[in-house]
Structure 1
Amino acid sequence: MDQASIDTISQQLEKRIAMKALALPMLPQVTTQVLSLVNDVNSDAAELAKLIQSDQALAGHVMRIANSAAYSPNAKMTSLQQAIARLGMQNMSEIAMAATMGPKMFNTKGYEELVKGIWISSLATAVWAREIARQGRRNVESTFLCGLLFQIGRPVVLQTVLDIAKDDDMDIEQEVVAQLMERYQAQVGSELADHWLLPSAVKDTILGIAGQGSGASADIVATVKAARTFAACTTADRQYDEAALSADATIVDINLYADDVQQLLEKSDSVHDTISELSL
């Protein structure tokens, strides 16, 4: 594809962004309700169980994951109330969010594997962010969600670019798609965060990862950056160089020391299992 064609697509993409004419996916209602319950200090396990049970497919998916070796290696659970009581509302809400979001929200024919790869990377970042937050006694709840959605703009950019190319009868190479996703994903992702009425920390993280400021969520942004470093190893060859990780700038920035990194790496098998279960 020549530069003129790339510029044409970029201009049309920028025009759609400016006019708020992007085809933004809807956040599933059950996901919105799960987020609302998790952020409500007065909510309880019975309310979460009732919500999940309102969707039979979701309930079955959540129970399968809750009973997996990653979450319940020693006992099997027969009800959502039992699962929530044993695993906690935070774990169950994470399972529900992962089950209702992901690649199926986007229409990217021919690029399904690319979108799936983005989602696996996001899951890996979210799970590692949760572990890092626990290790450093940080905000676990917000950090998982921010890790899960920090690059949610990428598949929206991809879908929009494919629509533009189709309308103009253009063939577009995958490397061009990757460049456009990298260039516009933060801008589009922040718009999607507003559209979905997500917590401000999510938008702060989307922009912060792109170097566009971290707002009031600097600690969460820093934690997600560190999680990306661990996730890169997870989604590549699962080879962790403890010394290199300890010296990485993203790790140093959040005051994780060699002992902390060692303790995190001791959880790597559990992290891998959790990512595998959530990705199905």
Structure 2
Amino acid sequence: MQRINESDKLKSILDSVRDFPPIPQTAFKVVKILENPEYHVTDLVYCVSKDMGLTTEILRLANSALYNPSTKISTIKQAITYLGMNTVKNLVISLSSKALFGSGNLRLLEQKLWEHSLTVAISARLTALRVRPALAEECFIIGLLHDLGQLILAKEVHSYEAIVQDAYNKKLDLRQMENENLGFDHTDVGGLALEKWGMPAHLTDVVRWHHQPDKSKYRDLAHLICFANNLTKSKLIGINNHHDIEKFQHSMKYLGMTPEDGDELESALMDIYEKEKELFKI
């Protein structure tokens, strides 16, 4: 990932963003378990099961319209069997981050960020299943984490709520307002946080470039997130709904999608959004 050029001025601004939050411990342990080529599924079951909140979230997602199981999934072992190891790993990393959304004082802002992030994750996964199936689960985790930088700024920069409000009132691009007021934007912060957490290169890269997907080393993933992000904004889901039609259409073209594909994906997304309201609550 291309690091921010930390000039004296920019470094002083970055220093105002205090220590980035650490990667949640359960997610860290799961990553370490799966890095061991001799891991056993019972190790993963034991690790996840110790976190009751995370277990509940995974079972709720596994039983939702997003994964549409034919029978009720009631245990983590069943979820792993049905969803697959890699999917569960991604859900653990993603949903562990949900705890970050639920603390602090900016409850409305955090709720809107979670709602937007989860909708982008679902949209990106649905889109990938249609045009890049092998990337579907990676899209889900990146979708949930793509605006991590906004969450960190909301918690750590006193003026951020005013910046968000100004962008909303003027119908301006939030990144533009962030750069004008802070000297950097949420994609820089999110990328740096994931890098500090030791997350895989493709996660840090796509989070950094999801607004400029042609600059990413993982262009398929970046365009999937860019498309999903703009689709979600067009449905007025989130804190800043300035969607970029030009980028939206460019990503559609890159991914080989037709307007009919876009309409069908929008319909499928909103169907899940309406059916699974509980998923969007912090």
* TM-score computed with the length of structure 2 as normaliser: 0.72
The answer to whether the 8 A contact 2:16-2:156 is kept is no
1:206 correspondence with 2:221: no
Equivalent position of 2:79 in the other structure:
83
Alignment RMSD, CA only?
3.7
Provide the secondary structure at the position in 1 that maps to 2:53. helix
Q: How does 1:26-105 map to 2 (within 5 A)?
A: 26-36=22-32, 45-68=41-64, 70-72=66-68, 74-102=70-98, 104-105=100-101
- Is 2:132 aligned against 1:142? no
Superposed, which structure 2 residues align to 1:1-280 within 5 Å? 14-17=11-14, 19=15, 22-36=18-32, 45-68=41-64, 70-72=66-68, 74-102=70-98, 104-105=100-101, 108-109=104-105, 111-137=106-132, 138-162=134-158, 175=165, 179-180=177-178, 183-211=184-212, 214-236=215-237, 248-265=249-266, 267-269=268-270, 271-272=272-273, 276-280=277-281
How far residue 15 of structure 1 moved from its aligned partner, in angstroms, is 0.5
Structure 1 or 2, whichever has the larger Rg, is: 1
Distance 1:121 1:270, change over 3 A: same
Contact map agreement 1:234 1:272 (CA 8 A) in 2: no
TM-fit CA distance, 1:196:
0.9
Answer yes or no: is the 8 Å Cα contact 2:213–2:226 preserved in 1.
no
Q: Which runs of 5+ in 2 are unaligned?
A: 1-7, 168-173, 239-244
- Per the alignment, do residues 70 and 94 of structure 1 end up closer, same or farther by CA in structure 2, a change over 3 Å counting? same
One-letter amino acid of the structure 2 residue matched with residue 261 of structure 1: G
Deviation of 1:250 (Å): 2.4
What one-letter code is carried by the residue in structure 1 that aligns with 2:268? K
Q: Distance in 2 between matches of 1:54 and 1:206?
A: 29
Distance 2:28 2:193 in 1: 14
CA distance in 1, matches of 2:192, 2:121: 21
Q: What's the CA shift for 1:53?
A: 0.9
Amino acid at match of 1:135: R
Which moved further from structure 2: 261-270 or 25-34? 261-270
Aligned length: 255
Q: TM-score under structure 1 normalisation?
A: 0.73
For residues 36-77 of structure 1, the C-alpha deviation after alignment (integer angstroms, 9 at most, x for no partner) is 556777656433322211223322333344344554564223
